[in-house]
Structure 1
Amino acid sequence: MELIIYEEREIREMANNPPLTDAIVVALARLIDDSQLTDKREPTHYDLDVLFVQSKIAEGDKPGPGGKPIGKAKRIRGALNWALINNLQGGEAFVSALISTVQGYGGFRPQSANYCGLEAVANLIAAIAIHGWELSLDGSLAPRVLEAMGGGQLTAALESYADRARRGALDSPLLAGTAKDLLEATAAHVLVEKWGSYPTHSNFPTLLGQAFTALSLATPTDPVQAGEPAQKRVERAAYELGCALNALRNKQGTGHGRPWLSSITSSQARFAIESMGNIASLMLNEL
């Protein structure tokens, strides 16, 4: 039986990559120069070759029709669009790696011959910011501290985490900048938005139940009514599943290291991650 066991360094590395989305693919490719002039900007095609291999998305790097070479921006879009379907984790790793490479070549420095341009940089900053990450004008990339966010900004960041979880991203139970997991952070956010605060010392079943109540979602404490809509049964099941998933979490430390108890299999872990995303999305959509 295969066990889902990750070392702390591996989880930290996965969590330190921004999400891969269609908008980020387009904005990232615009950082790269496809000029046919003599003075071409770096990074080079060779740099891309290395990054594709390191990120394990080289399979998505295809030549043009008839085997003709294509530009660097098209190579990036092609490989990352492939990664969106076939290797999301590798694609996310490539995003961070390419930004670091561009930064190393001076691509974020206006005085550099390799400068990408303010519009291209600003577009990528905006595309990444929606998902709870900060890219500075000098190319420094870091997750935003969720506990410093609130309102619609936090809703958008949690929606991004929920979307990653629904797609099975391995780091999804762990939220950057907080010890809470996805469901706990979402439930707390719901209560702050609905009631103005949340009980910091409540256990998870109580916290989740209060969030469900605030959103008019049914829990097992709500009696079954004759003729009630079928979705109420689904809502009660979602609450029960959320509590079960929380019990599977490894509670040692502050959210780093192994996200799940070491006794569960990889398929169970993936089901748990995707289920967390679905339940969080249910709450955020009702919010």
Structure 2
Amino acid sequence: MLFIPLSSPVIVSFARLFEQTSSVYRKPSHNDISRVLLDLGVSDVDPRTSDSGMGKVKRIEYLLYSLSSSEDTLESAQNLFFKLMAMLHAHGGFRKDSENYVGFEAFENFRNVLKTEGVFMDEDGSILPIVLENISESEYEEALSKYIVRAKRGSMDAALLVGTGKDLLEAVSYYVVHKKMGVYEQKNFPTLLGLAFTCLGISTFASKTNPSHVEKMELALYELGCSINTLRNKQGTGHGRPFLPLINDHEAKVAIESMGMISEYMMSKLREETPKETKNVRT
């Protein structure tokens, strides 16, 4: 499960997403929250049992502070956070055209607070892990897929995975090689990308002398990937602008979208081969 640092700023800004106004009542309701607490087995810490007039903001603040203050209930705090996030999604809390929209100011404030804690949240409320090494394989692939979607839109923060020092294409290449070959320590990007392509049966200059039309396209993708990588700001650690200063915004946008396109092609090839490989998985 993705871990969210439940610091005081995160808890306060998250609770504000449930704030009501005098004219609009937004879901989830108090009853919805009570059912979540019952499912998690933490109803005993609910302050609303002794104060039935407590609002949702103070209620959620109290619950997350209480549950995150002890190692014994820290997992429950994490589960509560993600279940409440799921409820906000289900009720359209992150859609601007929804009557349950949490509000622009509250939403952007929460996103900014998460970013200072090392967590990205997409415009649709999807949380994207930054330090990919600390999550499970299934979550890793899901996170890469979300970054690919953002890259295809030209989103600057999708180009470089903060906390890893890798760009998206490099992270996808490492993932492919790891899935196919196990641990791999190659630091040279052209070699890494070429090996990932080879593992997926995608053509590289080293493997084809008389390429077909599809192979020519794949060779061009390889060259494009290597070219994009040379534009990387190698002095950075994932923060700030991901490309060299001489690259203007239009060129950066093309590079990011191309990065997403190549990464998506690689992941689709990997998914095509996965069913064949599962036959050999131990039972």
* Alignment TM class, shorter chain as reference: 0.5 to 0.7
> In the alignment, does 2:93 pair up with 1:107?
no
* 1:82 matched residue in structure 2: none
Letter in 1 for 2:60: G
Shift of 1:125: 5.3
Give 1:23-102 correspondences, 5 Å limit. 43-45=19-21, 72=26
> In the alignment, does 2:268 pair up with 1:285?
yes
Cα separation, 2, equivalents of 1:278 and 1:249: 17
Runs of 5+ in structure 1 lacking a partner?
1-30, 33-41, 47-68, 74-101, 113-117, 136-140
Match of 2:191 among 206, 211, 214: 206
Q: Is the 8 A contact 1:108 1:121 kept in 2?
A: no
> In the alignment, does 2:228 pair up with 1:245?
yes
Q: 1:222 to 1:252 in 2, by over 3 A?
A: same
What CA deviation, in whole Å up to 9, does each residue of 1:192-217 have, x standing for no partner?
000012124x3110110000001110
Of the two structures, which has the highest relative contact order with CA contacts closer than 8 Å and spacing of 6 or more? 1
Cα separation, 2, equivalents of 1:245 and 1:109: 48
Letter in 2 for 1:198: Y
Runs of 4+ with >4 A deviation: 69-73, 102-106, 118-121, 125-128, 132-135
Shift of 1:122: 0.6
Secondary structure of the corresponding residue to residue 158 of structure 2: coil
Cα separation, 2, equivalents of 1:237 and 1:181: 19
Higher helix share: 2
Cα separation, 1, equivalents of 2:238 and 2:244: 12
- Percentage identity across aligned positions? 39
What CA deviation, in whole Å up to 9, does each residue of 1:95-154 have, x standing for no partner?
xxxxxxx99644354499xxxxx88951525999xxx9699xxxxx88352012353321
Give 1:1-287 correspondences, 5 Å limit. 43-45=19-21, 72=26, 105-110=58-63, 122=83, 124=85, 143=129, 145-200=131-186, 202-225=187-210, 228=212, 230-287=213-270
Q: 1:186 to 1:121 in 2, by over 3 A?
A: closer
Q: Is the 8 A contact 1:146 1:176 kept in 2?
A: no
Q: Is the 8 A contact 1:180 1:255 kept in 2?
A: yes
Cα separation, 2, equivalents of 1:274 and 1:233: 20
Secondary structure of the corresponding residue to residue 166 of structure 2: coil
Runs of 5+ in structure 2 lacking a partner?
1-15, 28-54, 66-78, 90-117, 122-126, 271-283
Q: Is the 8 A contact 2:128 2:146 kept in 1?
A: no
Secondary structure of the corresponding residue to residue 171 of structure 1: helix
Q: Is the 8 A contact 2:158 2:168 kept in 1?
A: yes
Of stretches 149-158 and 203-212 in structure 1, the one that deviates more from structure 2 is: 149-158
Cα separation, 2, equivalents of 1:178 and 1:125: 27
TM-score by length of 1: 0.54
Aligned CA-pair RMSD: 3.9
Shift of 1:184: 0.9
Q: Is the 8 A contact 1:166 1:277 kept in 2?
A: yes
Structure with larger Rg: 2
